[in-house]
A and B are shown apart, each in its own frame.
Chain A
Amino acid sequence: MIIKVLGPGCLKCKEAESIVNAAVKESNIDAAVEKITDFKEMMALGIMSTPAVIVDDKIMCTGRVPSKAEVIKWITGGTS
């Protein structure tokens, strides 16, 4: 599983990244977390507002910091 966290590196984006990392750790899932800071790449992915989280090419949220429970639900397939 590939999780992308997008954001140029402001406070909110860092917060989102650490929440995603914590969620991955907690749910014991083998996932690679990538940080995307290049805005050309963001454009290519269709992201307009950051922070944004993409799980396996599916955009899960944009423009806000997700909660840890939310992220766990996304990566475990909503079984929690």
Chain B
Amino acid sequence: MSKCCCSSKDDHKESILQDYVKNKDIMCGKEHKKEISRFKYFGIALLASAIWTGLYSVLVPASQWITYGILELSHGTPVADSVEFFIYDTSKILMLLVFMVYLIGWLRAGLHVERVRTYLAGKGRGIGYLLGAGFGSITPFCSCSSIPLFLGFTMARIPIGITMSFLITSPLINEIAVVLLWGLLGWKVTAIYITIGVFAGVLGGIVMDAIKAERWLQPFILHAIKNEPTSQASGFEPQANNISLMDRHEFAYSEAKNIFQRVWLWVLFGVGLGAALHGFVPQEWFAENLGAGQWWSVPLAVAVGIPLYTNVTGIIPIMESLLMKGLPLGTTLAFCMSTVAASLPEVIMLKQVMRWKFVAIFLGMLLIIFTLVGWFFNAMSGAIL
């Protein structure tokens, strides 16, 4: 496979064109073993969505029927409240999860970080931050990929700020986070969460460029950048680009299956905890016992959250319980985002490509951004929830 240079905008356009032509060639030459007609596929999809919608719309009566009809619990008791909440919430979230993951998987089949890099390499800074953060939120990558990815972006001469936008947003936002937030806390909090996630990425990127953070990369990277006149693409066109309907379906299906297998237990556990609180703990427990909204509680929550390691799937059920106990929205958001965005293991990995100063600035910046976010939403929470 030929190498293509992506150092200038014109080259970039050309390489996309070459990619496209190549992909078309592959597409035509490919054996379509089990292709399905468009008509049939969308017919089945429509039927499946109808069944899904039907099921989804009877969740409330169904969970009430199980609680009061089958289990014969009496109305108004804490146990009945908890059980109804648990059945309704878990089935709702799992249904949403399957639907959303399939849909997003379908849409992003064929989207690879290699392509994102090629695309970003041709963009100016202004729009680049937003695109970097946007791609960060929809591109999946294994968390331990962050170093090779960082190097790959840097070697393609993508400005450090755009790379940071991508890296900050990526762990914060993904489809599981969106589903869990939507199911547990409603669309308003979800929209706020996504907006802040992208905002944090964009702001972080701008700051990193403004202070010329690339000065503090490890010397071997700076050396490599200097000695390689043009960035080289990997000479690799991901095979999933020749995507047929069936390929898309297979990718989306396996995503939905994998993610479901990975998180269903978390959902049961998280909602179980939430359900217990829902039935048994008074709403304002937290506020009454710890006092809500002192200004220092936000930076403290962030400082505690940064070294902690968890992923977004684990933190959202905890977020729900914290909010239910009356912890203010801003403090909760700040705490949860900081546990997800950075962690001690990640810092140790980043140290391999960044000097201490860079790492320290990165963490300090997250602390400031999440603290500001926390203060802002504590002040606004009355209007939101």
CA–CA, A30 to B234, complex, Å?
Answer: 27
Q: Is the CB of B143 within 8 A of A39?
A: no
Chain A residue numbers with a CB within 8 Å of B58 are none
With A61-B239, A62-B112, A62-B114 known as contacts, the answer to whether A46 contacts B145 (CB < 8 A) is no
With A43-B155, A50-B148 known as contacts, the answer to whether A63 contacts B234 (CB < 8 A) is no
Q: Mark B86-117, 1 if CB is under 8 A from A, else 0.
A: 00000000000000000000000000111001
CA–CA, A6 to B238, complex, Å?
Answer: 16
Say yes or no: is B232 at the interface (Cβ < 8 Å to chain A).
Answer: yes
Q: Mark A26-64, 1 if CB is under 8 A from B, else 0.
A: 000000000000011011011111110000001111110
Q: Mark B193-235, 1 if CB is under 8 A from A, else 0.
A: 0000000000000000000000000001000100000001111
Question: In the complex, what's the smallest C-beta–C-beta distance from A48 to chain B, in angstroms?
Answer: 3
Q: Which of B1, B117, B144, B234 contacts A50 (CB 8 A)?
A: B144
CA–CA, A8 to B143, complex, Å?
Answer: 10
Q: How many residues of A contact B (CB 8 A)?
A: 24
- Counting chain B residues whose Cβ lies within 8 A of the other chain, the interface size class is 20 to 34
Say yes or no: is B147 at the interface (Cβ < 8 Å to chain A).
Answer: yes
Question: In the complex, what's the smallest C-beta–C-beta distance from B4 to chain A, in angstroms?
Answer: 12
Q: Is the CB of B236 within 8 A of A39?
A: no
Q: Which of A9, A43, A59, A61 contacts B148 (CB 8 A)?
A: A43
Say yes or no: is B149 at the interface (Cβ < 8 Å to chain A).
Answer: yes
Chain B residue numbers with a CB within 8 Å of A48 are 113-114, 117, 145, 148-149, 151-153, 234
Say yes or no: is A5 at the interface (Cβ < 8 Å to chain B).
Answer: no
Binding site for B on A (CB under 8 A): 6-10, 12-13, 39-40, 42-43, 45-51, 58-63
Binding site for A on B (CB under 8 A): 1, 112-114, 117, 140-145, 147-149, 151-153, 155, 220, 224, 232-236, 238-239, 349, 352
User: What are 9 of the A-B contact pairs (CB < 8 Å)?
Assistant: A8-B349, A39-B148, A47-B148, A49-B141, A49-B149, A58-B1, A59-B234, A60-B239, A63-B113
